[in-house]
Structure 1
């Protein structure tokens, strides 16, 4: 019951955040009923008093409550198991709310909302990308955050049309549409060639394209100016029987300046390296955030919120004229996207570390630093290992040559080694999530989770690239570290506990073993399974990065014999 109560309070916070206004118990009760919670006004007031006491909401006279800054932060990281499911549900909601009529050029469209400090230079960069057709649409809505606030002075808010609008338009035409992935598409000589990275919409606490908004991950400006690089894109499926109508729908949308279509495949045809089942059609569309990614690449701070809201299309204006520079996708096969779990399972199979002899192979990450930074990096490694060994995957490390002669590689043990050891001892261990674990408070809790399944990148690489860790703050008792969650059958838990004890004695770290079907650090575990949490092998690397040292992390990279490694 406590978890159900928590979910109700989180839904109340979501309602207040979405409406951005003062709401009374009656209105909140009505909104909760739409979401499947049958709470009367009296029960809502009870929950609101608890939220007031926690500082998440504030009572405004007799008018009702509004959400506080503390409440907004809690909403971002609170019930992570709920947030993982909520992201996909949010996109489904937005698809349903799309009402754009291409014949009349009227109705609601889904938008991404970006906020940044105004300058002529940043706006020119954004316009440049729009003018080359690297967007869903050149229609935008510009507004200004509360200008009375000193914090918002000089900032503008830019609403750009999100690719989810495309899904909504297809759905409104009676076409079943299934959003699958957000990712990056490689462009060569202005021609889209393949998806290089993908993250599934399901089972993640951040929107897939949000994972790729770091300035080091996209090359939108380079594509615009030179015709080569990586741009954000998303991918969905429709039935083959609906292909003709889908093509017609895109043609109608294109007439009013909404499209962003990269490719619509044939039945069962792989699209840009993404496999498609028989009798299904794959559709790739440019990410609506591409112009804002270009601004970030140029060094400007841009806060991007994906599929944040809907606005009336009639309220949007052309930011510039546009003509797409992208050439049609060439026919023929494209290199398949390599999903992380396929690689991970093969490495897990190769783990043969023996708990008695302390010999054998483990999975390692390799992170590259400049040679002149190696000594300082290893010094940070040692300090972190000495003070917080429980947050390091193991005591083993090794330096190795790098492909670039000016760099040096640092190998750390990947936490998936634990899955390999359990597997070799007859226990099925399935990697589920990589995440961010907040270490402060009564007990650590996950505040971000991304499923390994359906991702081409290790989630920890994403979190590092976006600067989401605060490993060094662990010294002060309130940090954010990398951690992973795997599941084992509940019936094997007693034997697993013995093996895990041996794993810890061998110099590896295990943070927690949950009970059957128990939430583990706020992360949901499937019924009849138990969860095991281990720290990420890249935590010392995160410490290096937080000190301002440039490092290129490569997670789940290879196999190495521990006899070739040193101990801290």
Structure 2
């Protein structure tokens, strides 16, 4: 589900809760409370789309109301389907892209984004001129009464479609952040797999505090979004020839093509395969965001005829140089880094003593009293959902800062494993506290290098501390073998009574809060220790969010 689709689902949720027509100002205010910074102009644009789809209906000057079709859309938007949908959607787009690069005709995959300031087009041109895009071919279309401009750009998935049409299958693997040093691509710093996520990988990294595209073009060093895929090694030379032809007609963005089985940019490549890295199609839009401009980015949105696009500028000063061939250590995925900590959890539920895994986030010391007050207020108003334990720790290098350690939900997996019960962390998610609560986003722990909860916090998607509207908090989903259910329930109930955030213990084959466990397993939904930290962030206090940092004796922790 793209960010734009999330926003429209949230608008439907808001209208569904109203018993009268609702205007764009109220909707914008409610969206802000839900973590979506969307102005009234952007809301009106989204409402027009919802009207066209039949999900909403305009009621004169009073505003809109949701239709029966809109309610049906809400009911069917199950997130456990979405975690498989993203990868399937890209495979569908690859299949439908039938572009003939020799004739320069046929269908291509495009991103459609909305900008609200016409001057942003100049920024986009500047980025395209440096080669930090897939193609200069775009289409600009005024779509709103307030000057909104729909920008259609070529998506890198088009190249996968072209290769497939030439008999070269691609396996789209990861979207991530790529580090550039002295104009040389060096290594991926973060990755998210295209499988088992409801958030499009590059969408997860499209925030101003994640990328530094402008630094790349002005200083030669920074972070850009990029994609990574695999092709069979036997097709390497043919792929190189095709890519060279594509460059001649204005379709590019290729960062690197590895040799067979060659580690590239910190990603291992299996024997018999070749890795290809491509600039993220959203890179020009990330630059616009970095300048603080409002933009609604939609990724791999649809198929369109190539003839509807035309060059907006020329690629006349390419920025990127050849890849730095230094062999970098493989970038470790989250669970690979976490399993050693999980195994060291030795918390005794009956004695309430032993080591747990802690998140440690850092804040200025002069903000500490305010931060603790926010944590206390958040816990007191949500004792069912907020873990009350914390510990203050020293910052390793900065005496002006202090760390706030909270209990990581992976501690629960460690406790169960320490008691002979296998527990697998499956998803980090965003849980909306409806009745019953429902996951509205899920990211697999197994396919990401960054804690999913940090992603949701960086995109301001939570509403933990708000007293208006439905709260959205951080939670995780775990799988435990059904045969161990009785003993697991016994241990989990003790943990819950101790103050750990255990929200739901599911049954086999049950959809638990919108997440689904495999056969012969049951699901456990637990709260994140970062919820209290998220509440601090929502109040505008600058806090450096960290996750899965270290082991801490539980008995040394304080309670709110």
TM-score by length of 1: 0.85
**Corresponding residue of 1:456:** 449
Which of the numbers 311, 324, 331 marks the counterpart of 1:330? Answer: 324
Which of the numbers 168, 171, 191 marks the counterpart of 1:178? Answer: 171
Deviations 1:103-160 (A, max 9, x none): 122111111111111232x22221111110001111111112143xxxxx11101111
Which of the numbers 543, 549, 553 marks the counterpart of 2:541? Answer: 549
> What is the DSSP-based 3-state SS (H/G/I as helix, E as strand, rest coil) of the residue aligned with 2:285?
helix
Which of the numbers 430, 452, 475 marks the counterpart of 2:424? Answer: 430
> Where does 1:210-229 land on structure 2 (aligned, <5 Å)?
210-229=203-222
Per the TM alignment, residue 335 of structure 1 is displaced from its structure 2 partner at its CA by: 2.9
> What is the DSSP-based 3-state SS (H/G/I as helix, E as strand, rest coil) of the residue aligned with 2:523?
strand
**Corresponding residue of 2:376:** 382
Deviations 1:241-271 (A, max 9, x none): 1111111111111111111101111111111
Work out the CA distance in 2 between the residues paired with 1:477 and 1:188.
44
Work out the CA distance in 2 between the residues paired with 1:464 and 1:138.
33
Asked whether the 8 Å contact 2:180–2:220 carries over to 1, the reply is: yes
* Cα RMSD after superposing both structures: 2.4
**Corresponding residue of 1:116:** 115
**Corresponding residue of 1:443:** 436
**Corresponding residue of 2:40:** none
> Where does 1:87-486 land on structure 2 (aligned, <5 Å)?
87-120=86-119, 122-147=120-145, 153-322=146-315, 323-440=317-434, 442-473=435-466, 475=467, 478-486=470-478
Asked whether the 8 Å contact 1:115–1:303 carries over to 2, the reply is: yes
Go from structure 1 to structure 2 and tell me whether the alpha carbon gap of 1:287 and 1:127 turns closer, same or farther (over 3 Å shift).
same
**Corresponding residue of 1:42:** none
Work out the CA distance in 2 between the residues paired with 1:477 and 1:158.
33
Work out the CA distance in 2 between the residues paired with 1:489 and 1:477.
36
Per the TM alignment, residue 409 of structure 1 is displaced from its structure 2 partner at its CA by: 1.4
Deviations 1:384-408 (A, max 9, x none): 1222122124534334325333322
Asked whether the 8 Å contact 1:77–1:447 carries over to 2, the reply is: no
Work out the CA distance in 1 between the residues paired with 2:450 and 2:73.
27
Deviations 1:504-531 (A, max 9, x none): 2332120000001211101111111100
> What is the DSSP-based 3-state SS (H/G/I as helix, E as strand, rest coil) of the residue aligned with 1:306?
coil
Work out the CA distance in 2 between the residues paired with 1:69 and 1:208.
32
- Does 2:470 match 1:493? no
Deviations 1:418-462 (A, max 9, x none): 00000001100000000000002x200000000001100000000
Aligned length, in residue pairs: 505
> What is the DSSP-based 3-state SS (H/G/I as helix, E as strand, rest coil) of the residue aligned with 1:511?
strand
Go from structure 1 to structure 2 and tell me whether the alpha carbon gap of 1:400 and 1:563 turns closer, same or farther (over 3 Å shift).
farther
Work out the CA distance in 1 between the residues paired with 2:249 and 2:179.
27
> What is the DSSP-based 3-state SS (H/G/I as helix, E as strand, rest coil) of the residue aligned with 2:502?
coil
> What is the DSSP-based 3-state SS (H/G/I as helix, E as strand, rest coil) of the residue aligned with 2:301?
strand
> What is the DSSP-based 3-state SS (H/G/I as helix, E as strand, rest coil) of the residue aligned with 2:371?
helix
Q: Which runs of 5+ in 2 are unaligned?
A: 1-8, 13-50, 59-65
Q: Indicate the larger mover: 502-511 or 136-145.
A: 502-511
Deviations 1:151-203 (A, max 9, x none): xx111011111111111111111111110000010000000000000000000
Asked whether the 8 Å contact 1:400–1:411 carries over to 2, the reply is: no
Work out the CA distance in 1 between the residues paired with 2:404 and 2:142.
46
Asked whether the 8 Å contact 2:390–2:404 carries over to 1, the reply is: no
Work out the CA distance in 2 between the residues paired with 1:358 and 1:472.
29
Work out the CA distance in 2 between the residues paired with 1:273 and 1:141.
35
Go from structure 1 to structure 2 and tell me whether the alpha carbon gap of 1:57 and 1:164 turns closer, same or farther (over 3 Å shift).
same
Per the TM alignment, residue 74 of structure 1 is displaced from its structure 2 partner at its CA by: 4.9
Go from structure 1 to structure 2 and tell me whether the alpha carbon gap of 1:397 and 1:385 turns closer, same or farther (over 3 Å shift).
farther
Work out the CA distance in 2 between the residues paired with 1:292 and 1:69.
35
Per the TM alignment, residue 330 of structure 1 is displaced from its structure 2 partner at its CA by: 2.5
Go from structure 1 to structure 2 and tell me whether the alpha carbon gap of 1:139 and 1:73 turns closer, same or farther (over 3 Å shift).
farther
Work out the CA distance in 2 between the residues paired with 1:396 and 1:371.
16
Q: Indicate the larger mover: 461-470 or 500-509.
A: 500-509
Per the TM alignment, residue 370 of structure 1 is displaced from its structure 2 partner at its CA by: 2.2
Work out the CA distance in 2 between the residues paired with 1:431 and 1:158.
39
Work out the CA distance in 1 between the residues paired with 2:470 and 2:74.
19
Go from structure 1 to structure 2 and tell me whether the alpha carbon gap of 1:71 and 1:404 turns closer, same or farther (over 3 Å shift).
farther
Asked whether the 8 Å contact 1:402–1:409 carries over to 2, the reply is: no
Go from structure 1 to structure 2 and tell me whether the alpha carbon gap of 1:193 and 1:69 turns closer, same or farther (over 3 Å shift).
farther
Asked whether the 8 Å contact 1:439–1:477 carries over to 2, the reply is: no
Deviations 1:260-318 (A, max 9, x none): 10111111111101111110111110001000000000111111010001222221121
Q: Indicate the larger mover: 269-278 or 554-563.
A: 554-563
Work out the CA distance in 2 between the residues paired with 1:76 and 1:203.
21
Asked whether the 8 Å contact 1:359–1:563 carries over to 2, the reply is: yes
Asked whether the 8 Å contact 2:193–2:448 carries over to 1, the reply is: yes
- Does 2:522 match 1:530? yes
Per the TM alignment, residue 204 of structure 1 is displaced from its structure 2 partner at its CA by: 0.4
